[in-house]
Amino acid sequence: MFPTLRKLILLVLGIPFVILGTRFLLDAGQSALIHFAAESWKPITVEVLSVEHFSGADQALGNQTVVHYQYEFEGQALEGQFSCIGDECPQTDLHLSLRAAQDEKRPVSALVNPDDPAQSLLYRHLYMPLFLLKAGVGLFCFLTGSVSVIFGVYLLSGAGAAKGGK
């Protein structure tokens, strides 16, 4: 009874690791794909609508900047959003330069996907430490969970099940 329960626990505990690892890997992959795809996107000018800057001791990851902007592409009026946290921002004091652009009604350059104009990037910037962290944690969780699930299934149904019953 208890050996089977231990094997089931091994199997069941591996599943969340596989799911978590998959999520991290997909997030890292999406960031890289958008970064490399944006190399061929069209440059446009956007109008900054709002700039929010959150900072303080309660910010676990550091300062956060959130920018809302609007742009026109092939006669369509569209809106976009950009956010970054701490060192992930492409420049220090990003919020100050964007607030100045907003106050002066000065346009800011951005990139738009010509195939999907609703998709735009204010900055084409891949922050490597965060990308590598997501990819590393994703690989670790996915591989650890996969080994746990495979080993649990093997022990429950394969040669390990025959030995455990004796």
Q: What is the pTM of this model?
A: 0.74
3-state secondary structure of 98: helix
Helices 2-37, 128-157: axis angle to 10 degrees equals 150
134-158 pLDDT, tens per residue? 999 999 999 999 999 988 888 888 6
- Rounded distance between C-alpha atoms, residue 66 and residue 48, angstroms: 11
Contacts of 104 (CB under 8 A, 6+ apart): none
Predicted pLDDT at 161: 52
Beta partners for 42?
A: 112
From residue 138, alpha-carbon distances to 42, 46, 115, 149, 165 in Å are 32, 35, 30, 16, 36
Place of tokens 């700039």: 51
Place of tokens 């495979």: 150
Q: Which residues does the chain have with pLDDT short of 70?
A: 1-2, 56-62, 158-166
Q: What residue spans define the domains of the chain?
A: 1-40+126-166, 42-112
